[in-house]
Amino acid sequence: AQRVTQPEKLLSVFKGAPVELKCNYSYSGSPELFWYVQYSRQRLQLLLRHISRESIKGFTADLNKGETSFHLKKPFAQEEDSAMYYCALSGIGGNQFYFGTGTSLTVIP
Amino acid sequence: GAGVSQTPSNKVTEKGKYVELRCDPISGHTALYWYRQSLGQGPEFLIYFQGTGAADDSGLPNDRFFAVRPEGSVSTLKIQRTERGDSAVYLCASSLNPNYNEQFFGPGTRLTVL
Write down all domains in chain B, each with its CATH number in brackets: 5-105 (2.60.40.10)
% residues pLDDT > 70 (chain B): 96
pLDDT digits (tens, 9 = 90+) for B36-65: 999 989 999 999 999 999 888 989 999 999
Reply yes or no: is the peptide bond before residue B61 cis, omega within 30 of 0.
Answer: no
Residue B110 has pLDDT above 60, yes or no: yes
Could you tell me which residues come within 8 angstroms of residue B98 by beta carbon, excluding any fewer than 6 positions away? A93, A94, A95, B30, B31, B48, B50, B55
Instruction: State residue A94's pLDDT score.
Output: 62
At residue A90, the pLDDT reads 86
Across B23-38, average pLDDT: 94
Please list the helix, strand and coil fractions of chain B in percent, rounded to the nearest 5, in that order. Answer: 5, 50, 45
Sequence-ordered alpha helix ranges (H) in B1-114: none
Task: Dump pLDDT digits (tens) for B6-18.
Answer: 999 999 999 999 9
B90 in A contact zone (CB under 8 Å): no
- In B, which residues are within 8 Å of A7 by CB distance? none
All structural domains of chain A with their residue ranges: 3-108
B:7-26 residues touching chain A, CB 8 A cutoff = none
pLDDT of residue B100: 64
- When pLDDT is cut at 50, 70 and 90, the band that residue A104 belongs to is very high
pLDDT, mean of residues B89-100: 86
Across the interface, which of A9, A45, A93 has its CB nearest the CB of B98?
A: A93
The alpha carbon of residue B113 is apart from the nearest alpha carbon of chain A, in Å, by 23
Mean pLDDT of chain B: 93
CA–CA separation, A64 and B99 (whole Å): 22
Q: In the Cβ-directed half-sphere of B102, how many Cα atoms lie within 13 Å?
A: 12
**Min distance B37 CA to chain A CA atoms (Å):** 10
**Which residues on chain A are in Cβ contact (under 8 Å) with B35?**
97, 99
pLDDT of residue A1 exceeding 80: no
A20: which strand partners? A73
Cα separation values, A83 from A2, A47, A51, A77, B89, Å: 25, 12, 23, 12, 18
| Domain A3-108 annotated CATH 1.10.3720.10 | no
Would the CB atoms of A4 and B42 count as touching at under 8 Å?
yes
Answer whether B38 touches A (CB < 8 Å).
no
Residue A44 has pLDDT above 90, yes or no: yes
Confidence tier at A27 by pLDDT (50, 70, 90): confident
Q: How many residues belong to chain B?
A: 114
Q: Are A87 and A32 in contact (CB under 8 A)?
A: no
Best mutation target, B34, B41, B45, to test chain A (most A CBs within 10 A): B45
A106 alpha-carbon distance from chain centroid: 15
Q: Kindly report, residue by residue over A10-25, the tens digit of the pLDDT.
A: 999 999 999 999 999 9
